[in-house]
Amino acid sequence: MRDVIVVAPRGFCAGVTRAVDTVRLALQRFGTPVYVRRAIVHNAAVVSQLVEEGAVFVDEVEQVPPGAPVVFSAHGVANAVRRDAEWRNLQVVDATCPLVDKVHQEALRFLADGYHVVLIGHTGHDETLGTTGQAPGRIHLVTEVNQVDLLPFDSSAAVAYLTQTTLSTDQVLPVVAALRRRFPILRSPRIADICYATQNRQDAAQWLAGVADAVLVLGDQSSSNATRLREVAAARGVRALLAACVQDVPTEWFEGVDVLGLTSGASTPEHLVQDAVAHFSAMGAAVRYELLATEQVTFALPQVPGQSRVPEGAS
């Protein structure tokens, strides 16, 4: 291998940074343990680090002792989860990404205006479970084009669609086209639901695929956005692999690769990228960095129970 190109934007987005910082804020406020419902973000390395710092991860709020602090993950939660937390008198700290919350609010507005709501997303993903759970039975999940004809309302119905924030445009557009064919009265979100960071990282992965022989995406197998990066690169016809860390990549995968492209998912910590850079540098590869877009989005941390305002500098 002669060259490694490390592209940016990559790695943590503003929503992930906010979510991780929120757990640490809760630990500072309450001490240990602080409970977190499901993975705060979809990356095992991040979860392991927070466990070391005193976070306790659970599947459901029923596993949290009554009255204890609990953090909701960046993916958002269904209303039923909020009700269960209230019933157990839990001290809730909500780390839902503001861009996911935007989708929740859009769904409720469309429903209030009399639209049938269709969510384009992946079955079983924490984000789609949270979004459909804003109005159970009234938000209809569609993943594939062939599911559009199975929607339980007439073609004359007023329909609005929303999307999971971590999809790729290539995944969404065919489903939207099928919805438009069946439902002439189709409303779209005022601003696209695919988040800025997801799109930026996909654009960067696509660029990498045009200049490298292979693209390595560092991220968790459970991460939707990291999976999309691998798919976007592979769609350009280059070898592409998603791995949690460079040590997980089989040596033979690099055979025949002269120029390697390197990027990471929105929930992947930067130290994993730098571990890979050090690994390739030790092999004698020349490493260069390419900045394709600058991200300046930040999100304020949420308030925690007993705290009058967000700490200064948390933005």
Helix H, strand E, coil C: the string for 260-282 is EEEEECCCCCHHHHHHHHHHHHH
Confidence (pTM)? 0.93
Backbone angles phi, psi at 269, to 5 degrees: -70, 145
What is the residue type of 232? Answer: V
Residue 94 has pLDDT above 60, yes or no: yes
pLDDT averaged over the chain?
Answer: 95
Q: Which helix (H) or strand (E) holds 240?
A: strand 239-243
pLDDT of residue 190: 84
Q: Which CATH architecture is the domain 99-187 placed in? A: 3-Layer(aba) Sandwich (3.40)
pLDDT of residue 192: 84
State what percent of residues in the chain have pLDDT above 70: 97
According to CATH, what is the number of the domain 3-12+195-291? 3.40.1010.20
Nearest CA among 129, 10, 30, 145 for reference residue 77? 129
According to CATH, what is the number of the domain 14-97? 3.40.50.11270
Strand ranges across the sheet with 69-72: 55-58, 34-37, 69-72, 91-94
State what percent of residues in the chain have pLDDT above 90: 93
Interval 197-221 mean pLDDT: 97
Nearest CA among 265, 270, 222 for reference residue 240? 265
Interval 39-61 mean pLDDT: 97
Catalytic residue among 127, 252, 255, 290: 127
pLDDT of residue 307: 59
Domain borders along the chain are: 3-12+195-291, 14-97, 99-187
Which ranges of the chain does DSSP label H, i.e. alpha helix? 14-30, 44-53, 79-87, 98-112, 126-132, 169-182, 196-211, 224-235, 270-282
| Direct distance between the N- and C-terminal alpha carbons of the chain, in angstroms, rounded to an integer | 41
Residue 39 has pLDDT above 60, yes or no: yes
pLDDT of residue 311: 43
> With contact defined as beta carbons under 8 Å apart, do 66 and 90 qualify?
yes
- Distance, CA of 104 to CA of 51 (rounded, Å): 29
Same fold for the pair 3-12+195-291 and 14-97: no
Residues with Cβ within 8 Å of 294's Cβ and at least 6 positions away in sequence, in order, are none
> With contact defined as beta carbons under 8 Å apart, do 7 and 290 qualify?
yes
- Dihedral angle of Cα 197, 136, 179, 171, to the nearest 10 degrees: 30
To 5 degrees, how large is the angle CA 132–CA 134–CA 140? 30
142 to 81, 128, 148: CA distances (angstroms): 23, 10, 7
Q: Which helix (H) or strand (E) holds 139?
A: strand 139-142
Residue 215 has pLDDT above 90, yes or no: yes
Interval 241-255 mean pLDDT: 97
Residue 127 annotated to the active site: yes
Q: Give 8's strand partners.
A: 291
pLDDT of residue 284: 96
